[in-house]
Amino acid sequence: MAKKKKVNKSKAVKDYAKAHPGATNKEISELLGKRGIVLTANRVSVIKAKSNAQWNAVRTVVNEVAVSRRVGLPETKVALSLLALTGGVEGANHALTAAKEVIASRGVGSPEAKLALFLLELTGGIERAHVALAAAQEIRAMV
């Protein structure tokens, strides 16, 4: 006898709630029930609440680090993107150096240099950009 394929109910609820933001818990449970995923409306509510709690925890960490480093959220988000794109602080610092050169020559560079250039413009200078990178690195370590 073939085994039944396991379904990730939490993922199904999150995906449906994301695609249909106005859907009620009852509507979600009924629709997923038609697809063979049996959940009560209360269970849907719990899944959505836990998902929101996780995102709120991440937002809290980002806010705390940004405030403690005196860096704005936009700068922190760009720095996080730069860290993700370059693979770490060393690559991000290299991209910032390249961005400084791009500013000097006004040429167009790689995606990393473009993002670093945006971070430099957003922060107003290399020193603040490094502070934003340090804040982003601290956030990555905590999350």
Q: Where exactly are the structural domains of the chain?
A: 9-59, 71-142
Using CB atoms within 10 Å of the CB of residue 36, give its burial: 0 to 12 exposed, 13 to 18 middle, 19+ buried.
exposed
Question: In the predicted model, what is the mean pLDDT of residues 75-90?
Answer: 79
pLDDT at 28 over 80: yes
- State pTM to two decimals: 0.43
Closest by CA to 52, choosing from 84, 26, 18, is 18
pLDDT at res. 72: 73
pLDDT at res. 43: 93
pLDDT at res. 106: 59
